[in-house]
Amino acid sequence: MGHGGDVIHELTTDHREVEEMFARFEALPTGDGRRKELVDQVTIELVRHSVAEEMHLYPAVRKYLPDGDSLADKELEDHSTAERTMKELEACEPDDPRFDQLMTSLMSEIREHVADEENNLFPRLRQAADAEDLEKLGEKVRTAKKTAPTRPHPASPDKPPANKLLDPGAGMIDRLRDALSGRGKNG
């Protein structure tokens, strides 16, 4: 499953890629340094994915679904919880006892979120929005991921218009930090 297509295809592809990284993480022994590299890569992908959803998917959910406000608010809360967990993970090394606990918690949070989106939100959105709008949203999501932050910023705004104004700047700073540190290069 490659990237491209409508917003649902694009985000589902992201979900599969993150699940693949989770499986690689779970296959490595506790304390293995490669686990930290995978956590960094997972964090980069999850943050970019979340920002793109917050900028484009959730406003569409609010527009197209009758209970869209409450659905989008629930999804945003899921993102906030995961982002706080990722922020804690960022400060841990693989030999820290909290490292595996936090990653197990993150994987559980993300797997539950993905199941909810794929089994509930995506089918409802596909029914409510026309194909052309979903295609346009897919392109917007791909574009947003290119400039999105790569590190968790739990205190940042997650709703338009503030997130659309601030996320590209945070993304530029994060990518500079990543380039200088080498973070995410082995993923």
Place of tokens 């909290």: 98
Query: What's the whole-number mean pLDDT along residues 73-84?
Result: 91
Fold of domain 7-181: Four Helix Bundle (Hemerythrin (Met), subunit A) (1.20.120)
* Strands (E) located in 56-177: none
Query: What's the whole-number mean pLDDT along residues 39-58?
Result: 92
Task: Kindly report the average pLDDT of the chain as a whole number.
Answer: 85
pLDDT bucket at 187, cuts 50 / 70 / 90:
very low
The pLDDT > 70 percentage for the chain reads 79
What secondary structure letter does DSSP report for 183? T
Q: What is the pLDDT of residues 92-134, one digit of tens each?
A: 989 898 999 999 999 999 999 999 999 999 999 999 999 999 9
133 HSE (CA, 13 A, CB side): 13
pTM above 0.75, yes or no: yes
Determine how many CB atoms are found less than 10 A away from the CB of residue 55. 23
Phi-psi region of 5 (alpha: psi -120 to 50; beta: other; left: phi over 0): left
Prior bond to 161 cis, omega within 30?
yes
The contacts of residue 55 (CB under 8 Å, 6+ apart) are 140, 141, 144, 160, 163, 164, 167
